[in-house]
């Protein structure tokens, strides 16, 4: 099938594009390039040897989405990865987050349904789960819109919208994928995460310390009720995550479905740092700091529903993720801005 990837030149988008192309599907990338670079799309083509046309524009603009269908139709499915995603920033810029993260969904749905798409896959987040007592989170765990930040709230609002859209469009496959901590990079080193400024997430921060652009790793909280006192998270290799999108498209059924995409095996902050040190080959400077407000001791999921329904499970470990991320970082020390293309 031909798939429109909104946010397709971003971190998860490029890896998903590679997975789709390698599975025999066609892709069209739509991205405003606010958080990535056009060279990312070119590298998808280098990896796969297949075309990955890029439309540069805002997925919240219906005329831009219409142009994608006009230039590259017929399009069978949409994967919606276009979102503002910095949790901390969302608390300071709630209007921008609600506007972008909801308006993109509205535009993609209006145009896609108007053109008769069969499937709509939405990139959600495990942060929609609201009760830590539910660990490991299943798809039936407690969710809420009364969450701590606009990013998580906007994702949960989108989920509510999509459930209603599926109800009145029974022929449409609507799939919500709740992600848990994507990490790693493509083993080729050609595509990977390219955050602007100081990274918000742990692995890119550790990688910046390893390459020397940041001084030390700050470990926030060493007194949690966990095996080593540091927070536990469900880190999923981005290649596994990308393959989860392929499975969601290929196994989708009419109606509305929700799946957790994670490993189900939480890794602590110190375990991730130790794994990255193994990839680098030496210890990294680190400092134990007080807990941050809003952080929880652990968050991880039960991904068994995706295994049972989609036939999907993770294959790659935290060691694989650290090795591949370090390969990406050393090959591209300043991200996509580093290396001129041949």
- What is the rounded distance in angstroms from the CA atom of residue 139 to the CA atom of residue 261? 10
12 within 8 A of 238, measured Cβ to Cβ: yes
Which letter does DSSP use for residue 59 in this model?
T
Q: Are strands 119-125 and 173-179 parallel, antiparallel or unpaired?
A: parallel
86 within 8 A of 151, measured Cβ to Cβ: yes
Residue 300 annotated among the catalytic residues of the structure = no
Q: Which two tokens stand for residue 327?
A: 């390969």
Per residue, what are the HEC states of the chain?
Answer: CEEEEECCCCHHHHHHHHHHHHCCCEEEEEECCCCCCCHHHHHHHHHHCCCCCEEECCCCCHHHHHHHHHHHCCCCEEEECCCCCCHHHHHHCHHHHHHHHHHHHHHHHHHHHHCCCCEEEEEEEHHHECCHHHCCECCCCCECCCCCCHHHHHHHHHHHHHHHHHHHCCCCEEEEEEECCEECCCCCCCCCCCCCCCCCCHHHHHHHHHHCCCCCEEEECCCCCCCCCCCEECCEEHHHHHHHHHHHHHHCCCEEEEEEECCCCCEEHHHHHHHHHHHHCCCCCEEEECCCCCCCCEECECCHHHHHHHCCCCCCCHHHHHHHHHHHHHHCCCHHHCCCCC
Catalytic residue among 11, 97, 129, 151: 151
Residue numbers annotated as active site: 151
């Amino acid at each position: 099938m031909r798939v429109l990837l909104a946010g397709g030149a971003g971190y998860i988008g490029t890896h998903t594009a590679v997975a789709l192309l390698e599975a025999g599907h066609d892709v069209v990338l739509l991205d405003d390039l606010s958080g990535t670079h056009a060279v990312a799309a070119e590298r998808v083509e280098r990896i796969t040897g297949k075309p990955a046309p890029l439309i540069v524009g805002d997925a919240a603009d219906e005329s831009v989405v219409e142009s994608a269908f006009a230039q590259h139709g017929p399009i069978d499915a949409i994967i919606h990865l276009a979102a503002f995603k910095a949790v901390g920033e969302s608390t300071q810029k709630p209007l921008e987050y609600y506007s972008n993260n909801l308006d993109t969904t509205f535009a993609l749905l209006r145009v896609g349904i108007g053109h008769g798409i069969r499937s709509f896959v939405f990139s959600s987040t495990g942060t929609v789960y609201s009760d830590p007592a539910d660990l490991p989170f299943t798809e039936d765990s407690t969710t809420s819109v009364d969450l701590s930040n606009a990013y998580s709230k906007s994702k949960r609002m989108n989920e509510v919208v999509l459930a209603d859209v599926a109800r009145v469009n029974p022929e449409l496959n609507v799939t919500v994928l709740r992600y848990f901590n994507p990490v790693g990079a493509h083993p080729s080193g050609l595509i990977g995460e390219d955050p602007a400024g100081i990274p918000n997430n742990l692995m890119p921060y550790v990688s910046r310390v390893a390459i020397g652009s940041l001084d030390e790793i700050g470990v926030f909280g060493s007194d949690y009720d966990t095996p080593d006192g540091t927070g536990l998270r469900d880190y999923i290799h981005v290649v596994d995550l990308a393959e989860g999108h392929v499975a969601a498209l290929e196994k989708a059924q009419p109606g509305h479905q929700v799946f957790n995409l994670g490993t189900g095996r939480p890794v602590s902050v110190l375990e991730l740092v130790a794994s990255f040190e193994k990839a680098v080959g030496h210890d990294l400077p680190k400092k134990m700091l007080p807990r941050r407000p809003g952080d929880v001791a652990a968050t991880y999921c039960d991904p068994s529903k995706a295994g049972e329904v989609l036939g999907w499970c993770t294959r790659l470990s935290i060691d694989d993720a650290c090795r591949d991320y370090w390969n990406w970082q050393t090959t591209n020390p300043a991200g996509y801005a580093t290396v001129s293309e041949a």
